[in-house]
């Protein structure tokens, strides 16, 4: 630890009052404080005095209020709420677009069914009796199994203790 005073720091801390520039600046600062307290109008002739008056005015102004407790959380909640609102609109527009595309696809298939439907029906008529019902039953079983698995995953992930190891 250095306990000896630094020669350069001591020279910088001492003010030479006999220097006319320093004396003039001191006089301007004092005059700015007096004029500001008195409420005198600002003189445009001396811009340096105007700067000191603005500085004096800023220093006399009350300190700003501190940031309230939980400020960051409040802002985060506002931003999240705005984002959720924007997501809701976007999801609605996506669903609307998907619905329009499905309706247009069904309409296109319906309007051109005369050309492609006979070629699809011909192989189906050559299948053995009852094969369509067994195929539909197999499809229903697969759909039920995969659907039940999905329901179990959704319900299991929404429970609070689902992530804990036993």
127-144 tens-digit pLDDT? 777 666 777 888 899 899
Kindly indicate the confidence band of residue 152, based on its pLDDT and cuts at 50, 70 and 90.
Answer: confident
pLDDT per position as a tens digit, 37-53: 888 887 777 888 888 88
CA nearest to 29, candidates 1, 4, 60, 54: 54
H-run or E-run covering 139: helix 131-158
| pTM confidence score | 0.32
Alpha-carbon distances, residue 102 vs 96, 97, 132 (angstroms): 10, 9, 26
pLDDT of residue 10: 56
The pLDDT value recorded for residue 6 is: 58
């Amino acid at each position: 630890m250095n306990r000896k005073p630094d020669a350069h720091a001591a020279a910088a801390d001492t003010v030479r009052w006999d220097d006319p520039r320093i004396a003039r600046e001191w006089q301007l600062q004092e005059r700015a404080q007096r004029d500001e307290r008195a409420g005198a109008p600002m003189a445009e002739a001396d811009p340096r005095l105007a700067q000191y008056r603005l500085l004096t005015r800023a220093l006399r102004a009350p300190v700003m209020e501190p940031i309230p407790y939980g400020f960051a959380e409040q802002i985060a909640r506002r931003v999240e709420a705005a984002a959720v609102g924007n997501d809701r609109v976007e999801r609605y527009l996506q669903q609307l677009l998907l619905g329009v595309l499905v309706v247009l696809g069904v309409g296109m298939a319906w309007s051109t069914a005369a050309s492609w439907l006979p070629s699809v029906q011909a192989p189906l008529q050559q299948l053995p009796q009852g094969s369509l019902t067994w195929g539909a039953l197999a499809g229903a079983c697969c759909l039920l199994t995969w659907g039940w698995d999905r329901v179990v995953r959704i319900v299991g992930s929404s429970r609070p203790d689902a992530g804990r190891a036993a």
